Structures are given as C-alpha cells and as structure tokens.
Amino acid sequence: MPVLDLIEKTRDGVPLSREDIDRLVAGIVDNRWPDYQLAAWLMAVVLRGLTDQETFWLTGAMAEMGRPHPALGDVDKHSTGGVGDKTTLVLAPLVAALGLRMAKMSGRGLGHTGGTLDKLESIPGFRVELPIDAIRRQVEQIGVAVVAQSRELAPADRRLYALRDVTGTVNHPALIASSIMSKKLAAGTPNLVLDVKVGNGAFMTELRDANRLARLMVDIGRYYGRRMTVLMTTMQQPLGWAIGNAVEVNEAVGVLRGEGPSDLREEVVRLAAELLHLAKGMPLAEAETEAHQALQSGRAWERFIQWVRWQGGDVAAVEAGLPLGPVTRVWRAETRVTVQSLNTRAIGEVALMLGAGRHRLEDAVNPAVGLHCYLKTGRTYEAGDVLAVVYAMTETAADDAVKKLTAAVTFGEPESVPPLVLGRISTEE
C-alpha cells in the first residue's frame, strides 16, 4: 500500500495506528517511499504534531528496524551539542574508573558545535572505527570505548535526519526526541543520561522548549523500560575554556589531572553521579563525592590513558599536550571590564572559521586550531588580563578570529549569571 494515506492522516490531525507507523518506517528503511513523500509527511508533523503515543511507536519502530545491538555497556550518555562541550572525554573514563561500563557511539561535529569523534581523532593514531568484537573486548577489559556510530543502528533516522536538514523540519520535539531516543534504544544500554543544552549556543534556546523535549524523551525511555535522567545545562556561554579539537583534548586531560575549568569539572561530576545513581541506586550526594574522588585521585586519568592506548592513540603525545597553532594571538583586556553576556554561537563560529569544524559532513577538520576563551558571564577582568588566546594557521585568520570574538562579547553589569544546571527530569521520579 502506498504512503499517501499516512501523509493525509497526519495532515488532518488523525493519529496513526501502530501498524501505520510500522509501515511508514519499514518503507523508509527499504527506500520504498520517495523523498518527496517523506518530506511532505515530516512537514505535516511539524504543522500538526504527533501524539505522545505516536511518538513512542515511531521511536520504537525506528530503533527496531535495522539491527539493534545487544547492550555493550551499562551506561550511555548523549548531549544535544554545544560549544566547548568535551564532557564525554572526561566522563567516559571517569565512569569506567567508578566500576561502570560505557560503550558510547558518538558523532562528528557539524556547524558551530563540535563532535567527540573529531576531538578524539586529534590524538595521533586514535581509531574510532572498530569491529564490534573489538569494542566488546575493550569494554570488558577496561570499561570504556567511544566509537563511530554504526551505520546499521536505526537506519530510518539516518534517512529522516538528512531530509529534515534540508526541508526545515529539524526543530520539532517529536522528531528530535524520536531521532535521539531511537539511536539510544537501539544501542540497548539500560541506563542513560542526556544532557540537553539550553541557550544561545545550543539548538534549544529557551528553557521552556528544552523542558518539553526533555520530558518527552524521559517518557519514551520509561515506555521502553529504560532508566534515564535528563539534565538541562546552560549554553549561554561555552563550557570550559577550550574550543576546538586538540585544545579540548588538552583541557579534558587537565580536568582528569585535577586542574582545568571548574564548570567543566562540575558538569562531568553531576553527569557521572546521575549514572551511578541510575545504575547502582547510589544516593546522588554520595555519588558526587565518589566521582570527585575518582577525578582527584588520578584513577580516572589512569583509565583515560588505558583507553587511548587500547584505541591506538599516542599516549606520549597526550601527556606532552597536543600541539596547537602555529599562529597564536593573545587578546588582553585594555581596561577593567565585566562580562555582561556572550554570543556563544558566534564564539563557536570562530572555531569553525579557524578550521576546527565543518560546514558539510564531508569537510575535513584541522585538529590544531581553536581557541581558549576565558570569558565568563559576570566575571571581572583587570587591564592586561588574558581574555582569549587564538590558535590559527595564518596571521590573517588569527586577526579575523579576534575581531569576531570581540564582537561576540558585551561588557557591562549582567542582570544574572546563568547557573550550570537549569533543570532535571528523571524516570526515577
């Protein structure tokens, strides 16, 4: 049967049955439905919406078609993406040091947000394409593996996402939630923490919208028997200082060695505590203390080194600090200034402009370029203090980057300073 009746139902606000949704998704996977009809259905969803029940069925159908994996680990994590978000680099070895197993499938960066795989590949030799048996062995031995998303996982999402990208249909909660959750359900992990970024550097700019998305994802998780918690965290400013690839790895290493920016450390500890709470039932306050200790004692750092070695990375290069540059430009405060607000997206675009990110998925990224942005809302800097350092390939690129960075900052007294964690929703409540 063709797909036209399903497009018409959604267009008219008539809920699809489970059989309808299974037929829709089967035709997406085996390419029976042409792009123009799927695009029409997606637009009908954006204009008329889906019921929660339709969203649950859609997510389940997308997760099950293709080849779901037997769970490789106990815990998984996903972030909706932000500027300077290198939490996975610290969180994965940290939770392994806490006795959990994390086998995470990650993606590449697109636009102003970075991707974990690009960051890991800035470590010489680091491999992100591993056979499933090798991933399984690694997770059994050291409790951590981060690899590229398998093409077999939730293939319906791959096709729908590409269509959404070019038809103005990305930004609908039912479509976002089913896209993210189908991949997480297909990966099979029983405990999941989601980091939904909110603010002017994220793809959800309003807390109200983020809340709605978070609740829908938690409802999907509950419907399919997963334990999960969503933290909504601020993207009104970059996370940490480093933005780029090698520069973010270096910063993650700093946090694993007990240094580095406090916002990054705090966020990683909160996420790790949520996973300990979900997987082991540990009270949150106790879980946070455990996570702090694993970072401060160097146990997480040791696990990071093992992890890099197992995936072929050059440990000596990581220990020495990955090279940045070659052209460095330091931006200093000329007078005493306080940061009123930051245009986080524009700061992410500075890294993109320098070559750290990609406009299209087939573009190559440069591991060595990026920046340290020391600006935080509400902080005061004295004349001569370093506000940012840019690592560029050419003098012109460095000058352009500082110019764009300057335009992304407003100085003055802020009305308020954004808290790191803006909200929390869990299947455990």
The rounded distance, in Å, linking the Cα atoms of 33 and 24 is: 8
Strand ranges of the sheet holding 409-411, from the earlier edge strand across to the other edge:
380-381, 337-342, 409-411
Neighbours of 263 (CB within 10 A): 18
Pairing of strands 191-198, 337-342: unpaired
Distance, C-alpha 91 to centroid of its chain: 12
The question of whether 78 is a catalytic residue gets the answer yes
Shortest Å, Cβ 161 to ligand URA = 6
What are the residues binding ligand URA (CB under 6 A)? 80, 161, 176, 179-180
Integer angstrom CA distances of residue 9 from 50, 78, 141, 246, 398: 11, 33, 51, 49, 54
SS3 sequence, 292-336?
HHHHHCCHHHHHHHHHHHHCCCCHHHHHHCCCCCCEEEEEECCCC
Q: Which lies closer to ligand URA via its Cβ, residue 106 or residue 377?
A: 106
Shortest Å, Cβ 147 to ligand URA = 16
Shortest Å, Cβ 179 to ligand URA = 3
Beta strands in 188-256 (DSSP E): 191-198, 227-234, 242-244
The rounded distance, in Å, linking the Cα atoms of 45 and 129 is: 35
Which DSSP helix (H) or strand (E) runs through 146? strand 144-148
Shortest Å, Cβ 169 to ligand URA = 10
Q: Which lies closer to ligand URA via its Cβ, residue 80 or residue 189?
A: 80
Shortest Å, Cβ 107 to ligand URA = 7
Among the listed residues 164, 184, 265, 303, the single catalytic one is: 164
Q: Which lies closer to ligand URA via its Cβ, residue 59 or residue 179?
A: 179
Token pair 């910063």: residue:
251
Q: Could you say which DSSP state residue 427 is in?
A: T
Q: Could you say which DSSP state residue 340 is in?
A: E
The rounded distance, in Å, linking the Cα atoms of 402 and 397 is: 9
Q: Which lies closer to ligand URA via its Cβ, residue 178 or residue 200?
A: 178
Among the listed residues 78, 112, 172, 345, the single catalytic one is: 78
Which DSSP helix (H) or strand (E) runs through 22? helix 18-29
Among the listed residues 101, 104, 172, 183, the single catalytic one is: 183
The question of whether 69 is a catalytic residue gets the answer no
Q: Which lies closer to ligand URA via its Cβ, residue 209 or residue 266?
A: 209
Token pair 């350092």: residue:
389
Q: If you write DSSP's letter for every residue of 76-98 in order, what string do you get?
A: EEEE---TT--HHHHHHHHHHHT
Residue nearest to ligand URA (CB): 179
Shortest Å, Cβ 150 to ligand URA = 14
Shortest Å, Cβ 176 to ligand URA = 4
Shortest Å, Cβ 146 to ligand URA = 16
Most distant CA pair in the chain, distance: 71
Among the listed residues 150, 179, 341, 426, the single catalytic one is: 179
- State whether the Cα torsion 26-32-33-34 is positive or negative: positive
Q: Which lies closer to ligand URA via its Cβ, residue 179 or residue 344?
A: 179
Among the listed residues 74, 85, 157, 195, the single catalytic one is: 157
CB 127 within 8 A of CB 311: yes
Q: Which lies closer to ligand URA via its Cβ, residue 55 or residue 179?
A: 179
Q: Which lies closer to ligand URA via its Cβ, residue 345 or residue 372?
A: 345
Map residue 60 onto helix, strand or coil. Answer: helix
- Angle ∠(16,22,23) on CA atoms, nearest 5: 90
Active centre residues (catalytic): 78, 157, 164, 179, 183
